[in-house]
């Protein structure tokens, strides 16, 4: 049974704060273990990767078999049905088209003193994508991570995907091929993150690592950050649906369950201005849980972390939504566009009753790698911007330096950085020579 809250309750604020602060991440303290794994990879390279893969994935590898060969990739792709291939290709086309519009422009201009200023965008040279294996093996995640990297112009893209007992997912391999991935390695865990960050004899190091993973993968990404860039440390999935009573309760129930079925620690929230509608949705969730394949997972998520919140009006709904800063926000209201314009904090917004969040997970176009755990207050979902960096440009003429150089010299002197000031003064003196 989820929580039922109403903003008219005298204890609402305390209960709402407790809801926001509930610890959902089941993250044991694995940092010490991960530190040892990373040290082992740095010291022994391929040998450590092979030993750890045998230990955790029950798969015996050699340096020659760590990477999928072209023949193995072709064989895996041949196992995919025409219908699944067509769905992946359509998703890839839409994701690529959306992310192509994100590419920023280089700029150069000359200002009023004659200085030429600007910036230039360039891609990282190599990126690594972590793809979970086993039951949580998602080809959609391959597309969402790899396509923005390729659109950004990343020269080399490698993915690591664990294959426990040697079992791989043909859809993942095909998604990698469609997205333009250059290398696929059948390894996972913290050891795969360390191999991407520091390199081994077989795996060349990368500049940035993206992609979801378990607690060990998350801890490894934290530890290698600085040596390489990372996208984010994502927590359990979450959805907030704001809906009025002019909706089908079953539709809203399914939208809530679409995230609850991900993980027992996922969170599904409903905000509505109708208590009766909220109860109808909760009843619809219970009915759907009777037949849902992942009902054990979804049911526990809904019971432990789900909530139905009744508000006086949609003004309160927007205020609460911004406090929640949800990963996914569905707006199923009469004025969904107007509501969307007022929302400040959300990873992704799905506008109107005909836009289920699941469309965004697969084929809408925007990225499904999104900030969780209220981090949408200060961060964004994955985009081409994660795979490019900005280099600033400046060129002075003698006239420009004469105009602004004295102020630079004065500021350098105020900071007691003599050489800074002298490097400017030497040029000013040359300009002032008769």
Domain around 199: 31-105+124-230
Regarding whether 14 and 42 lie in a shared domain, the answer is: no
DSSP 159-172: EE---GGG---HHH
135, pLDDT greater than 60: no
Structural domain includes residue 303: yes
Q: Is the pLDDT of residue 23 over 80?
A: no
| pLDDT of residue 137 exceeding 90 | no
Residues 174 and 68 in one domain: yes
Pair (156, 224) in one structural domain: yes
- Regarding whether 40 and 14 lie in a shared domain, the answer is no
Q: How confident is the model at residue 136, as a pLDDT?
A: 62
Phi, psi of 380 (to 5 degrees): -125, 170
CA 258 to CA 95: how far, in whole Å?
21
Is 327 annotated in the active site?
Answer: yes
The tally of domains found in the chain comes to: 3
pLDDT at 134: 64
Residue 386 belongs to a domain: no
Catalytic member of 76, 183, 327, 409: 327
Does the residue 246 lie in any domain? yes
| 171 and 256 part of one domain | no
Does residue 372 form part of some domain? no
Report residue 26's pLDDT band, with 50, 70 and 90 as the boundaries. low
Among 230, 258, 290, the domain boundary falls at: 230
Whether 234 has a pLDDT exceeding 90, the answer reads: no
Catalytic, out of 99, 262, 328, 368: 328
Instruction: Please indicate, yes or no, whether residues 313 and 198 belong to a single structural domain of this protein.
Output: no
Which of 230, 245, 270 terminates a domain? The answer is: 230
User: The CATH number of the domain where 167 resides is what?
Assistant: 3.40.50.1980
Q: What is the percentage of the chain residues whose pLDDT exceeds 70?
A: 98
The residue from 364, 382, 417 where one domain ends is 364
Q: Environment class of residue 112 by beta-carbon count within 10 Å: exposed (0-12), middle (13-18) or buried (19+)?
A: exposed
The string of pLDDT tens digits covering residues 367-402 is: 999 999 999 999 999 999 999 999 999 999 999 999
Catalytic-residue membership of 409: no
Do both 308 and 257 map to the same domain?
Answer: yes
Q: Does 330 reside within a domain?
A: yes
| φ/ψ (deg, to 5) at 67 | -100, 135
Q: What's the rounded Cα separation, in Å, for the pair 213 and 189?
A: 8
pLDDT the model gives residue 28:
66
Instruction: In whole angstroms, give the CA distance from residue 59 to residue 56.
Output: 8
The answer to which of 22-26, 32-36, 289-293 has the lowest mean pLDDT is 22-26
User: Is there a single domain that holds both residue 215 and residue 351?
Assistant: no
What pLDDT is attached to residue 201?
97
């Amino acid at each position: 049974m989820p929580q039922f809250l109403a903003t008219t309750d005298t204890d609402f604020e305390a209960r709402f704060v407790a809801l926001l602060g509930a610890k959902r991440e089941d993250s044991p303290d694995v940092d010490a273990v991960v530190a040892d794994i990373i040290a082992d990879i740095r010291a022994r390279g391929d040998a450590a990767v092979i030993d750890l893969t045998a230990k955790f994935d029950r798969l015996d590898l050699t340096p020659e078999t760590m990477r999928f060969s072209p023949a193995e990739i072709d064989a895996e792709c041949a196992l995919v049905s025409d219908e699944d291939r067509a769905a992946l290709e359509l998703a890839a086309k839409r994701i690529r088209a959306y992310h192509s519009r994100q590419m920023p422009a280089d700029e150069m201009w000359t200002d009023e003193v004659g200085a030429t200023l600007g910036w230039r965008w360039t891609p990282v040279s190599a990126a690594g994508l972590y793809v979970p294996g086993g039951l949580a093996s998602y080809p959609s995640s391959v597309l969402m991570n790899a396509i923005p990297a390729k659109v950004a112009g990343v020269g080399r893209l490698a993915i690591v995907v664990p294959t426990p007992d040697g079992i791989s997912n043909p859809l993942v391999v095909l998604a990698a091929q469609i997205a333009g991935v250059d290398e696929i390695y059948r390894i996972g865990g913290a050891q795969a993150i360390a191999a991407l960050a520091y390199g081994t004899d077989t795996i060349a190091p990368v500049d940035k690592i993206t992609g979801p993973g378990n607690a060990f993968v998350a801890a490894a990404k934290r530890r290698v950050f600085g040596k390489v860039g990372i996208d984010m440390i994502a927590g359990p999935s979450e959805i907030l649906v704001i809906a009025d009573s002019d909706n089908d309760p079953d539709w809203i129930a399914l939208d809530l369950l679409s995230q609850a079925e991900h993980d027992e620690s996922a969170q599904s929230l409903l905000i509505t201005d109708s208590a009766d509608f909220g109860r109808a949705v909760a009843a619809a969730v219970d009915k759907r849980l009777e037949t849902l394949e992942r009902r054990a997972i979804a049911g526990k998520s809904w019971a432990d972390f789900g909530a139905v919140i009744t508000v006086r009006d949609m003004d309160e709904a927007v205020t609460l939504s911004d406090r929640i800063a949800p990963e996914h926000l569905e707006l199923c209201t009469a004025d969904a566009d107007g509501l969307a314009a007022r929302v400040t904090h959300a990873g992704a917004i799905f506008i109107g009753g005909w836009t289920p969040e699941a469309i965004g997970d697969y084929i809408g176009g925007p990225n499904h790698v999104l900030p969780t755990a209220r981090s949408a207050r200060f961060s964004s979902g994955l985009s081409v911007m994660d795979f490019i960096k900005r280099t600033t440009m400046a060129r002075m003429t003698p006239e420009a330096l004469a105009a602004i150089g004295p102020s630079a010299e004065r500021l350098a002197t105020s900071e007691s950085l003599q050489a800074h000031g002298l490097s400017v003064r030497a040029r000013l003196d040359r300009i002032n020579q008769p």
